[in-house]
Structure 1
Amino acid sequence: MPKPKRLMELMMTVNRKRKFTVRELADQFEVSTRTILRDLQELSELGVPLYSEVGPHGGYQVLNERVLPPIAFKEEEAVAMFFASHALRHYSSLPFETQAESALSKFYLYMPGDVRDRIDQMKNRVDIVAPTRQKPAQHLTILLDGAIQQKVLCIDYESREGGSVRHIQPVGIYARNGYWYCPAYCFLREDFRLFRGDRIRSAQYSSADVAPLELNHVHLGNWEAFTRQKPEWVRMHVVLSKEGVQRCEAELWKAPKLHIGEDGSGAIDGMIPTSEISYFADFFLGLGKNAVVKEPAEMVQLIRKRLQEMIEMYDPDLQ
């Protein structure tokens, strides 16, 4: 086997085995132990983090910071990777943000000049805007790792009711309208809850005697179906102007299906949880005359109440 090919396969082998002896590798590649020792020295110089142990049970092992074998990318694949990273640049917090910047910097350094020029031009020609939030979500990496590894975390959480310490088992993380969210099983509530990333003040792996649950079957697409506290639902019917339809398409993501007419106007008609009445009331109030709420009656009353409060706030005769 040619030496370059042997080094490539050796790199993949040691990353896969993690712990091995020189004799095992020599037998596998059908070369002498002296040759394997030279090859391991070359891999170490290339950056593969090898650690040797002496003694009857010694050998070599790869440290946690493994170096993956080189991968050949086509030009379009390389540009696509930079585009994916560029698309997320408006988020103030990202999991593995430092590592991603380091990887892309290495990647960019070895690009041909014309490909680098193409990537630089792309940055000024395409953008995906997300709302910028002032409070960063600082614990995304450990939340994601907890979900993947099925580990229990201890978090200090700041909700509207105040701060509390929770033991949670994350399901995953997702971003919406500039915020990061983490659905997780809450051992305090004994049910699934949705936590907002910027409200998690601290997060660490739990040292308490809290055994993780078997939640491999629960993921971002189905976690709400496993909640024990089922929400109450109510019908919502809202008539929208053409501009109202456009605003709802751009901003509203929790609403039922939007029905659009030939002239561009439309309506929202479907079921929502009663817990979301306040959220929708505020949103449709902001649309002014471009949205008329017909149902539920509780939402109509809430909008009237808030309109009256605004009138009193701006009317000097009522102050």
Structure 2
Amino acid sequence: MSKSKRLLELMMTVNRKRKFTVKELAQEFGVSTRTMLRDLQELSELGVPLYSEVGPHGGYQVLKERILPPIAFSEEEAAAMFFAVYALRHYSSLPFESESASALDKFYLHMSGDVRDRIDQMKNRVDFVTPTRQQESPYLSILLEAAVQQKVLRIEYGSQGEEACRSIQPIGIYANNGLWFCPAYCFLRQGFRIFRCDRMHSVANDTSGMKPLDLRDVHLGNRESFFQTEKESASELYVELSRHGVQMCEAALWLGALLNIREDGTGWLEGPIPRNDLAFYARFFIGLGVEATVERPPELIGFMKTLFKEIMSKYE
């Protein structure tokens, strides 16, 4: 086996193992312990995060930030990966912010000159526009980890001018219209809710002994089936939409379960909405203008009329 091939296979092997000794690797690769020590030294110089432990139970171990083996990308694949990460620059917060910047730098710096020139020419020709928001969402990483690890978190959450502490179990995070959202089970409300991540003023592991639920089958792909509004706290919504109104509502992911589309492109919204959120819905539908006609509930129409009066009073 050539040295380059041995180093590549050694990199994959140490990434796969949690702990190992030089003697074990030397026997596995059929080389002397001295040769294996030199190979491990070269891997360390290449950036593989190895550290050694002395003593009878010592050996080598790879740090948590393991390095993937080299991957061969075509020119088109490299450009696609570059712009997939480059598009995220519009977000003020990301769950892997520093890692994304590092990956982008590595892709760019290790490309050949002609590929870099091509990407430089494409930067001002392609973009994925997302509204730039001032609101920071600094807890995306811990929310995502809690969703994967099935953990309960304690959050301080500000909504409608009020602060509240809640225990939640996230099922994921998603970005929409430049903002980050976290669907989660709320132990206070005993049901699923969607939280704005920028309204979370603190997030930490819950230490009250609250046991997590088994939410392994609940994820972003099927969340709509779990986010059912309780009948006793809901109002029945019905809104007629023009073609453009349908397109505007399609961009609001939280309306997905309510949206119905006809063959001609028009549509309607129908289903239960929380009574506590009527003021929010009123502002949203006013923003749609003539593209939406709210037919019920009457309480929502009342909220909209009040807002219209307030708007008109500013221009009298």
- The TM-score range, normalised by the shorter chain, is 0.7 to 0.9
Name the CA shift for 1:310/1:70 in 2 (closer, same or farther; >3 Å).
same
**Does 1:259 pair with 2:238?**
no
**Does 1:298 pair with 2:299?**
yes
Distance 1:143 1:87 in 2: 22
Report what 1:202 is aligned to: 202
Q: Which amino acid aligns with 1:57?
A: H
What secondary structure, in the 3-state scheme, does the structure 2 residue paired with 1:28 have?
helix
Distance 1:269 1:169 in 2: 29
Question: Are 1:236 and 1:272, in contact at CA under 8 Å, matched by a contact in 2?
Answer: no
Report what 1:237 is aligned to: 239
Distance 2:49 2:182 in 1: 34
How far off its partner does 1:101 sit? 0.4
Distance 1:67 1:58 in 2: 22
Report what 2:282 is aligned to: 281
What secondary structure, in the 3-state scheme, does the structure 2 residue paired with 1:60 have?
strand
Distance 1:159 1:281 in 2: 17
CA RMSD across the alignment? 2.6
Question: Are 2:79 and 2:119, in contact at CA under 8 Å, matched by a contact in 1?
Answer: yes
How far off its partner does 1:273 sit? 1.9
What secondary structure, in the 3-state scheme, does the structure 2 residue paired with 1:211 have?
coil
Report what 1:30 is aligned to: 30
% identical aligned pairs: 58
How far off its partner does 1:14 sit? 0.8
How far off its partner does 1:214 sit? 2.3
Structure 1 gaps of 5+ residues are: none
What secondary structure, in the 3-state scheme, does the structure 2 residue paired with 1:201 have?
strand
Report what 1:50 is aligned to: 50
Q: Which amino acid aligns with 2:126?
A: V
Distance 2:280 2:84 in 1: 32
Q: How many residues align?
A: 311
Name the CA shift for 1:250/1:187 in 2 (closer, same or farther; >3 Å).
closer
Distance 2:290 2:43 in 1: 68
How far off its partner does 1:260 sit? 6.4
How far off its partner does 1:169 sit? 2.1
Report what 1:178 is aligned to: 178
Question: Are 2:86 and 2:104, in contact at CA under 8 Å, matched by a contact in 1?
Answer: no
Distance 2:138 2:150 in 1: 20
Deviation string 1:18-64 (CA, Å, 9 cap, x unpaired) is: 20111211221122222211211111121212111122211111122
Name the CA shift for 1:278/1:208 in 2 (closer, same or farther; >3 Å).
closer
Question: Are 1:156 and 1:163, in contact at CA under 8 Å, matched by a contact in 2?
Answer: yes
Q: Which amino acid aligns with 2:133?
A: R
Distance 2:300 2:270 in 1: 14
Report what 1:7 is aligned to: 7
What secondary structure, in the 3-state scheme, does the structure 2 residue paired with 1:257 have?
strand
**If you compute each CA radius of gyration, which structure gives the higher value, 1 or 2?**
1
Name the CA shift for 1:56/1:292 in 2 (closer, same or farther; >3 Å).
closer
Distance 2:162 2:220 in 1: 26
Distance 2:241 2:174 in 1: 31
What secondary structure, in the 3-state scheme, does the structure 2 residue paired with 1:6 have?
helix
Distance 2:106 2:89 in 1: 18
How far off its partner does 1:5 sit? 0.9
**Does 1:59 pair with 2:59?**
yes
Report what 2:191 is aligned to: 191
Question: Are 1:170 and 1:182, in contact at CA under 8 Å, matched by a contact in 2?
Answer: yes
Report what 1:104 is aligned to: 104
Distance 2:196 2:253 in 1: 18
How far off its partner does 1:17 sit? 0.6
Structure 2 gaps of 5+ residues are: none
Question: Are 1:158 and 1:164, in contact at CA under 8 Å, matched by a contact in 2?
Answer: yes
TM-score, normalised to structure 1, is 0.86
Distance 1:251 1:202 in 2: 26
Distance 1:249 1:184 in 2: 22
Distance 1:269 1:10 in 2: 57
Q: Which amino acid aligns with 2:198?
A: D
How far off its partner does 1:85 sit? 1.7
Q: Which amino acid aligns with 1:125?
A: R
